[in-house]
Amino acid sequence: MSSLPSRFEVPVETTWDLRDLFPDEAAWEAEFEGIDAARQAFAAYEGRLGSNAAMLLACLTDLETLGARLMRVSTFAHLRNAEDATHPPHQAAVARVAALQARIDAATSFVDSEILALPDGAMQRLRATEPGLSAFDVLLDDLLALRPHRLSAETERALAALGEVLDAPYMAYGRCKFGDMRFEPFTDGAGTVHANSFNGFESRFETHSDASVRRGAWASFTAGLRAHHHTSAATFATEVSKNVVLARLRGYASTEALLLQPHKVPHTLYRDILDVIQAELAPHMQRYARLRQRVLGLDRLMYCDIKAPLDPEYNPPMPWDESCQLVIEALEPLGTEYLDFVRRALTQRWVDRADNVGKSSGAFCASPYGVHPYILITWSDTMRNVFTLAHELGHGGHFALAMKHQRFVNMRPAMPFIEAPSIMNEMLLARHILARSQERRLRRSVIMQVLGTYHHNFVTHLLEAELQRQVYALAEQGGSITATVLDDCQGRILERFWGDTLELDDGARMTWMRQPHYYMGLYPYTYSVGLVASTAMALRVQQEGTPALQRWLEVLKAGGTRTPLELLQWAGVDMTSPQPIRDAVAYVGRLIDELQASFD
């Protein structure tokens, strides 16, 4: 049995190089102290923002500069912690950044309060007399939309000072998941002993072709989760309670209304995504589950079998270098500027692909303004890795373009658009592979990867969103959120979606313990928005070719200067109707038809 190496034992070329952020710890420390000092200068603006437009512009510009500096300091701390959360100095740095954020929020909370306290028409006059304020149009419009829900200046200052405490559930979840959870080794059917970890299970064992490996890892994984069952539920419940209380304090009709406001989409889109996909996708996925059980020859299909490969003997390794070249070729239609980012990301150590003790699970992309994106992934030479890499490069390419063409305050669009560029890259990758090969097993493998993307976004994340919807409704009615309640709720959601095609065990009911998205507002449903949008966009590209891709690039460059639905409308996708949702679900059905035919 081999155990995971420490961070210091993995090859340096498989790790990211954070020196582009800060050359060393001393430079980070100096900037940290500089930011802490800079926040105090905002006292000179307090009480004066309504006096003239030049004063308001100066304050907003300084606040923007401070925000960009804080983003780089925060990103450095969080990336160090993501590479090894067991290292106490990394944990301490993340905590220090959270405290710094709270101090800045408290020191600058007067900005929003003073702007919102201006009499009717005053802000319009200020904006009319100072052209420079136009750079902050989105920020000011978003702020003014919050006026009905704003509390007194003193209360807002107190809430800002409590920012670190209000973010504590997310911090506690991460500490538990990456610092405390341990998974016992397990023995497969051949007598081989395997080390297990969060990353190991999700990147290798969950999709292993050997049922004894898959199920042995699952038993180990479930036991590791169970050891933190009640603590995790208490953390989840605290996050829910926090949001429910804040929604009531601010006078929102519901917690969903509070959490959806920054998304800038109508509630009907949120509702349609949840209702239409669950109702219309479930029959397709149940059919897929029955196909999986038949092809794999299993007497019963367990929850841990739903990602098992259908053609286990066809599993060509995907080494890093070959995979990078494949991704570059697939993304070539996006043009020189986009490809320049991709090549640099893959060759200049902007990607961390090692596997070591304490490393964050899953994959993500961080994009500190003024530097460049960083990507975390755990590489295991699989086709799934290739699609995940293309996905994260989609995030990186999006923000690299937005950073180049927008200032910090306008870089990031609202959350429902965030996943569209990343999933679009997966669509381009699949199209590239399928266009160049008629080999049956390869095509079948790629179709399964595409179905894996739909499963990830239309099932895994969507059912997370459904759990959120039900849990928040329960909490608003005064119900208690406990481990048993969460298990039961998760079990009912899975049972309704999968019907009798899956055998649900305790591990399936504890699925809510696996994802951090519950601590990011209503993030989970946005994956489905992105997949619907990218499915529709891929069809546009197929129909129109280069003109559609050129529109897409312009949309990426726009950053957050338009709402999600406006960005998609610009690209040629109308999300005001549920029809694109139904079209995407129908496309999944056609993929399953083709896959089923390949086995008949």
Q: Is residue 2 predicted with pLDDT exceeding 70?
A: no
221-267 residue pLDDT tens: 999 999 999 999 999 999 999 999 999 999 999 999 999 999 999 99
The stretch 105-133 carries a mean pLDDT of 92
Q: Is residue 1 predicted with pLDDT exceeding 70?
A: no
pLDDT band for position 335 (50/70/90)? very high
Phi-psi region of 251 (alpha: psi -120 to 50; beta: other; left: phi over 0): left
Q: Is residue 17 predicted with pLDDT exceeding 60?
A: yes
Distance CA(493)–CA(463), nearest Å, equals 7
The encoded tokens of residue 145 equal 């939309």
Q: Does the pTM exceed 0.85?
A: yes
Which ranges constitute the DSSP H helices of 162-228?
163-166, 168-174, 198-203, 211-226
Q: Is residue 382 predicted with pLDDT exceeding 90?
A: no
Taking all residues of the chain, what is their mean pLDDT, rounded to a whole number?
A: 94
Distance CA(290)–CA(161), nearest Å, equals 53
Q: Report angle CA 98, 377, 334 to the nearest 5 degrees.
A: 105
The encoded tokens of residue 403 equal 């950073």
C-alpha of 518 from chain center = 11
Q: What pLDDT does 76 receive?
A: 98
Q: What pLDDT does 168 receive?
A: 94
Separation of first and last alpha carbons in the chain: 40
The encoded tokens of residue 541 equal 């590209």
Q: What pLDDT does 569 receive?
A: 96
pLDDT band for position 437 (50/70/90)? confident
443-483 residue pLDDT tens: 888 899 899 889 989 999 999 999 999 999 999 999 999 99
Q: What pLDDT does 313 receive?
A: 83
Three-state secondary structure call for residue 374? strand
Q: How far is it between the farthest Cα atoms of the chain?
A: 77
Distance CA(521)–CA(304), nearest Å, equals 27
Where are the domains positioned within the chain? 7-166
Q: What pLDDT does 4 receive?
A: 84
Q: What pLDDT does 268 receive?
A: 95
The encoded tokens of residue 450 equal 């595409």
Does an H or E element contain 366, and which? strand 364-366
24-37 residue pLDDT tens: 999 999 999 999 99
* CATH of the domain spanning 7-166: 1.20.140.70
Q: What pLDDT does 554 receive?
A: 97
**Cβ(146)–Cβ(261) under 8 Å?**
yes
Distance CA(443)–CA(446), nearest Å, equals 5
Lowest mean pLDDT among 55-64, 210-219, 305-314, 544-553: 305-314
Does an H or E element contain 376, and which? strand 374-376
The encoded tokens of residue 405 equal 């063409």
The stretch 144-173 carries a mean pLDDT of 91
Does an H or E element contain 187, and which? strand 186-187
If one counts every other C-beta atom within 10 angstroms of the C-beta of residue 348, the result is 12
